[in-house]
């Protein structure tokens, strides 16, 4: 059922410079790689757990195997296929060349510092990486305080979905999560005082994760996070108290990074992102933005692991500097947010061919005309996929641009192209 409308499109993206490159490409003959990928997509679920990699190869996410495909590539069947092709048989029936599974510590360091351009970020959770990391984290686990401002707890729920490493491993072996309102046993003033004590004991050596936006209007009273000694503690006062002593702050989710839905048009609470809040109050602690509404668990756990490892390896100052060097101009780690969503979209060839879906449930065309914001968004969701890699935003509907600093106002209406 290929009911998508076929149009030749040039200059469809108007003034946007990134999109100009696309406009130039639109109408060009689709390359062989694109056709091969489309063949592979149509064969699903045969290739169920295979994904398209940024270099237009495909790889099996869990095993780290990678196969560059060419126009003539096709699956091989039959008992003799392995013999005739010299390729290895995977359980799902596809044959591929096994790449080196060993990722050395040096490779990992390269990955962290962004110089290993050839590696996909999926490798960050390679078993070898985890071993390397475990070696760096012997001794006491670094304290992490998770503070919730004006948000929905969606980022916390999302990080619970972490698979590689599993969230239980993160909680029990990698960090010491000394404050998290949604999962910690303790409550009330004792919980607040415990966090303060841990902060004093680890001055300069703890991490704060902020979920949700921060407001200092009305004395910060749009978000009260606790009480101790009959004193009301607002999100803004707690951040002002603890953040100057933290090694770094991870602003997870659209709200903490840039204000997000909490600061959208119509909001009256003065909600803002952590970076803006720090700027206003002269707090110099480095902030790493991990936007998304919510962020993918890999983006949060991955960034946390990279930061912890860098600090362990190079000490606080140098280690953090190497993490900051990974950030783009919007404060996001480039390994996760460095690629344009549209350019890595498996339906890009449909865009190039000028085939566009006109109805939400028609999946035979590119979703551009349905309002897809993929061309204006920067994340690796098309490659990484979501929730055990079973699906992702554009495969189901359209991208809503939730990783962008101007989400939601600049990215909506969500179901109209702008």
Binding residues for other proteins restricted to 38-67, rule: CB under 8 A: 44-45, 48
CB of 156 to other proteins, least distance (A): 7
140 binds other proteins (CB under 8 A): no
Contact 292, 379 (CB under 8 A): yes
φ/ψ of 356, rounded to 5, equals -125, 135
Binding residues for other proteins restricted to 105-124, rule: CB under 8 A: none
190 binds other proteins (CB under 8 A): yes
Stretch that binds other proteins, among 7-15, 23-31, 101-109, 185-193 (CB under 8 A): 185-193
> Which residues contact residue 407 at a Cβ distance below 8 angstroms, ignoring those fewer than 6 apart?
254, 258, 260, 261, 291, 293, 400, 401
Which secondary structure element, helix H or strand E, spans residue 257, and what is its range? helix 253-258
Give the x/- contact pattern for other proteins in 164-183, rule: CB under 8 A.
--xxx--xx---xxx-xxxx
201 binds other proteins (CB under 8 A): no
Which residue, 110 or 389, is less far from other proteins as judged by CB? 389
Tokens 């699903």 belong to 44
Burial readout 308-346 (b: 16 or more C-beta within 10 A, e: otherwise): bbbbbbbeeeebbebbbebbeeebbbebbbbbbbbbbbb
φ/ψ of 23, rounded to 5, equals -55, -40
Give the x/- contact pattern for other proteins in 234-273, rule: CB under 8 A.
--------------------------xxx-xxxxxx-x--
**DSSP 3-state of 148:** strand
Stretch that binds other proteins, among 80-88, 215-223, 276-284, 317-325 (CB under 8 A): 215-223
397 binds other proteins (CB under 8 A): yes
71 binds other proteins (CB under 8 A): no
Which residue, 87 or 160, is less far from other proteins as judged by CB? 160
Binding residues for other proteins restricted to 269-288, rule: CB under 8 A: 269, 271
- C-alpha pair distances (Å), 159 with each of 10, 32, 197, 298, 299: 40, 38, 26, 8, 9
């Amino acid at each position: 059922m290929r009911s998508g409308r076929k149009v030749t499109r040039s200059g469809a993206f108007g003034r946007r410079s990134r999109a100009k490159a696309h406009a130039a490409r639109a109408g060009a003959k689709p390359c062989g790689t694109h056709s091969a990928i489309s063949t592979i997509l149509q064969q699903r679920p045969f290739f169920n757990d295979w994904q398209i990699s940024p270099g237009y190869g495909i790889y099996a996410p869990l095993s780290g195997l990678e196969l560059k495909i060419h126009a003539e590539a096709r699956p091989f069947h039959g008992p003799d296929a392995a013999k005739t092709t010299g390729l290895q048989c995977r359980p799902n029936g596809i044959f591929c060349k096994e790449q080196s599974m060993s990722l050395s510590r040096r490779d990992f360091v390269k990955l962290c510092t962004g110089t290993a351009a050839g590696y996909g970020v999926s490798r960050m959770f390679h078993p070898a990486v985890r071993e390397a990391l475990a070696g760096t984290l012997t001794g006491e686990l670094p304290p992490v305080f998770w503070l919730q401002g004006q948000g929905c707890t969606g980022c916390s729920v999302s990080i619970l979905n972490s698979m590689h490493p599993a969230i239980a491993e993160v909680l029990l072996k990698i960090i010491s999560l000394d404050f998290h309102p949604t999962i910690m046993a303790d409550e009330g003033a004792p919980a607040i005082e415990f966090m303060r004590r841990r902060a004093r004991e680890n001055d300069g050596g703890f991490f704060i994760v902020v979920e949700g936006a921060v407001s200092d209007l009305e004395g910060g009273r749009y978000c009260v996070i606790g009480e101790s000694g009959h004193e009301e503690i607002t999100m803004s006062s707690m951040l002002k108290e603890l953040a100057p002593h933290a090694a770094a702050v991870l602003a997870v989710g659209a709200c903490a990074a840039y204000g997000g839905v909490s600061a959208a048009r119509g909001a009256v609470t003065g909600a803002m992102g952590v970076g803006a809040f720090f700027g206003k109050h002269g707090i110099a602690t480095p902030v790493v933005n991990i936007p998304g509404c919510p962020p993918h668990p890999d983006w949060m756990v991955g960034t946390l692991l990279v930061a912890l490892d860098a600090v362990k390896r190079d000490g606080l100052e140098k280690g953090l500097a190497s993490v900051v060097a990974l950030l783009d101009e919007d404060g996001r780690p480039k390994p996760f947010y460095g690629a344009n969503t549209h350019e890595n979209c498996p339906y890009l060839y449909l865009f190039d061919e000028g085939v566009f879906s006109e109805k939400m449930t028609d999946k035979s065309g590119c979703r551009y005309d349905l309002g897809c914001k993929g061309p204006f968004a920067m994340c690796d969701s098309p490659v990484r996929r979501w929730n055990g890699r079973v699906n992702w935003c554009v495969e189901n509907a359209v991208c809503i641009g939730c990783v962008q600093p101007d989400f939601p106002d600049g990215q909506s209406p969500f179901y109209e192209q702008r």
